[in-house]
Amino acid sequence: MSQKQVLQGIGVGSRAVRAEVFRLTARRALPAPLKSASTPAEEAQTLSQAISSLEATYAEKIASASGNLKEILEAQSALGTDSELFESAVQHCEGGWNASTAIQMAMNEFRELLSGADGEFGERVADLDEIVYRLVQILQGHVEEIDLPTSGQVIVVATDLTPMDTVAFTDVVAGVITEKGGPTSHTAIVCRARDIPALVACADASTLKSGQIVMLDPDNSQAIIDGELSSSSGNWWDNLTPHASSLIPVMANIGSVEDAHKVSSAQGVGLLRTELFFLNRNTAPTLQEQITLYSSILAAGPEGEIIVRTLDAGSDKPIPFLGIAQEENPALGVRGQRVAAVAPDFYRDQLTAIAAAATEVIATGKEITVSVMAPMIATVEEARTFATQARNAGLARVGIMIEIPSIIPVIGQLRGVIDFVSVGTNDLSQYLFAADRVNSGVAHLLNPWEPALLATLEEIARSCKAASIKTGVCGEAASDPLLAVVLAGLGFDSVSASPSSVSNVSAALSYVSMSLATDVARAARSGATAHEAKTAARKTL
Ligand code: PEP
Ligand code: MG
């Protein structure tokens, strides 16, 4: 019997599907720089019309989108219609360039500002590319739309997908395979939110041809050409008997009032990303504005513990009012809690506002405990400084994020300094593997099943237990139901998942006992590769 061809990648979701490949055609290359024969004013006018046309297209797509996808499209539309971007392009028109060259040049300047950014911010680099591509298409008069089949089931295969592409997805799309993208790329976020099984960072995706039959098995991070669905292709927990409640609390990661409303079934909030409120602001919010903002989130969110993260920004993140200088290597620069040293007023106000908002909402009878945590802590000294400031502001429960490997060997010295840690596996992977979160060329290193990451997580759980510090994981790793079981088995006290993953992670954790989770974690730790780790974990169930 001939060997079936297996393609490896990073799985998103847990349901296996089998369908025909539908290849999306590769995007056209952007045109080479060209000087214009028209006047700068005419080119600026042409560009302005193209931007209005793009805005109208976004409005139409936004109207038919919901949840994460809608938010992403709204952010892209705002970026595409940004007046600073237009003004910068107009300057290039004045230099004699045509509209499509001018917008590419303006975008390149923006891209440089963002290129070291991480996670959802770093995705803005992909957003910029998407906006340039769409604008150039409009300027050249050939707008391409995805033309999916109208019946049957297909697995869409592409180099990468943009949120705009995914709006066109109907029930015909059974799965997605992309060559690029990583565990935190838009493709992964949107597919997870829409419950579409996917395989991202699949280097061999380019070998797939339309019409081939593929079995996509995200749980095993693979796709098999001509593969068959096994009898256990549903969610792995479907065959187990449920317990009364989740093995460890499942909290939610949120970044907006809308998210807060969506996560009522979560046992608290494990990560409130406060920087998401200030991305486009040129002026710092007043103390009262911050109090009003946090109060509205606390009032809308679930009961239980609400962990508010202080601003996770830096020169790589576009928060203009912080006035931070441009950096050569922003991912390693003044970012996260390091910004507190250069913008002390904002951080002081932020802690005061969080404490005031907590008091205000608790007074309404809502049963919440508001904790605060700092991102990107590298040393015990930084943790001490933050803890002192937070407690002085009246916040009783204080934690730090573990995202930088240097803090791990000194966890023992955090005893009595902080109450909890929350592991940000997105950044921890980036710094552990020296692999940029937003560079799809190194996405395979960011697979959360990588044995070195699992070993590091085990060490964190063990060291924190010994130091009487509570542990949680709020990176994307915790949004994978199987990995959440591993985390429980490694000894973590809670996980915090993205809003769309809370119900699946809670379901999975309701079907396993602590002894089974420990066995699953041990099996995962025995793997020498990410694939072996995940396969071993899966086999234990
Ligand atoms: C992380 O790094 O895992 C994390 C949760 O923080 P963010 O994704 O916001 O950088
Ligand atoms: Mg982070």
Residues ≥6 apart with Cβ < 8 Å to 131: 54, 76, 79, 80, 107
Same domain membership, residue 151 and residue 126? no
CATH of the domain at 91: 1.10.274.10
Same domain membership, residue 497 and residue 393? yes
Residue 316 CB less than 6 A away from ligand 1: no
Residue 88 included in any domain: yes
Q: Which atom of ligand 1 is nearest to the CA of 375?
A: 6
Same domain membership, residue 471 and residue 402? yes
- Give the number of other Cβ atoms within 10 Å of residue 448's Cβ: 26
Same domain membership, residue 500 and residue 389? yes
E strand residue ranges, 206-257: 213-217, 222-225, 250-254
Tell me which residue range forms the domain holding 343.
250-540
CA 183 to chain centre: 8
Which tens digit of pLDDT belongs to each residue from 150-168? 888 999 999 988 777 777 7
Mean pLDDT of 329-357: 93
Residue 273 CB less than 6 A away from ligand 1: yes
User: From the CA of 424, how far away is ligand 2's center (Å)?
Assistant: 5
Confidence at residue 119, expressed as pLDDT on a 0 to 100 scale: 46
Same domain membership, residue 280 and residue 152? no
Higher pLDDT, 141 or 289: 289
Confidence at residue 361, expressed as pLDDT on a 0 to 100 scale: 98
Most confident of 6-20, 66-80, 161-175, 399-413: 399-413
Q: Which atom of ligand 1 is nearest to the CA of 425?
A: 3
CATH of the domain at 154: 3.50.30.10
Residue 498 CB less than 6 A away from ligand 1: no
Residue 127 included in any domain: yes
Same domain membership, residue 418 and residue 344? yes
The three-state secondary structure class of 183 is: coil
Same domain membership, residue 293 and residue 441? yes
- The residue out of 114, 140, 166 marking a domain boundary is 140
Residue 526 included in any domain: yes
Residue 445 included in any domain: yes
Confidence at residue 130, expressed as pLDDT on a 0 to 100 scale: 81
Name the residue at shortest CA distance from atom 8 of ligand 1: 119
Higher pLDDT, 100 or 184: 100
Same domain membership, residue 270 and residue 303? yes
- The residue out of 101, 120, 140 marking a domain boundary is 140
Same domain membership, residue 183 and residue 133? no
Residues forming a β-bridge with 305: 369
Same domain membership, residue 344 and residue 257? yes
Confidence at 115, pLDDT banded by 50, 70, 90: low
Same domain membership, residue 451 and residue 417? yes
Higher pLDDT, 300 or 220: 300
Same domain membership, residue 407 and residue 296? yes
Name the residue at shortest CA distance from atom 7 of ligand 1: 119
Name the residue at shortest CA distance from atom 1 of ligand 1: 424
Distance CA 387, CA 373 (A): 9
Nearest bound ligand to the CA of residue 275: 1
Distance CA 93, CA 105 (A): 10
**How many domains is the chain partitioned into structurally?**
3
Lowest mean pLDDT among 37-41, 244-248, 276-280, 489-493: 276-280
User: From the CA of 517, how far away is ligand 2's center (Å)?
Assistant: 26
Residue 442 corresponds to which tokens in the numbers above? Answer: 């190194």
Distance CA 41, CA 90 (A): 8
Residue 242 included in any domain: no
- The residue out of 91, 117, 140 marking a domain boundary is 140
Residue 475 CB less than 6 A away from ligand 1: yes
- Residue 389's alpha-carbon distances to 120, 385, 415, in angstroms, are 28, 6, 17
CATH of the domain at 297: 3.20.20.60
Residue 14 included in any domain: yes
Mutation test of ligand 1: which of 185, 335, 403 has the most ligand atoms closer than 8 Å to its C-beta?
403
Name the residue at shortest CA distance from atom 3 of ligand 1: 424
Q: Which atom of ligand 1 is nearest to the CA of 430?
A: 2
Confidence at 326, pLDDT banded by 50, 70, 90: confident
User: From the CA of 30, how far away is ligand 1's center (Å)?
Assistant: 32
| pLDDT(251) > 60 | yes
Which tens digit of pLDDT belongs to each residue from 458-503? 999 999 999 999 999 999 999 999 999 999 999 999 999 988 889 9
Mutation test of ligand 1: which of 376, 427, 453, 474 has the most ligand atoms closer than 8 Å to its C-beta?
427
Residue 425 CB less than 6 A away from ligand 1: yes
User: From the CA of 436, how far away is ligand 2's center (Å)?
Assistant: 12
Across the chain, mean pLDDT equals 89
Residue 119 CB less than 6 A away from ligand 1: yes
Q: Is 474 in the active site?
A: yes
Residue 32 included in any domain: no
Per the document, the length of the chain is: 541
Sheet containing strand 222-225, strands side by side? 6-8, 222-225, 213-217, 17-23, 154-158, 173-178, 198-200, 10-12
Mutation test of ligand 1: which of 184, 186, 189, 273 has the most ligand atoms closer than 8 Å to its C-beta?
273
Residue 95 included in any domain: yes
Nearest bound ligand to the CA of residue 376: 2
- Quick check: 225 and 5 in contact, CB under 8 A? yes
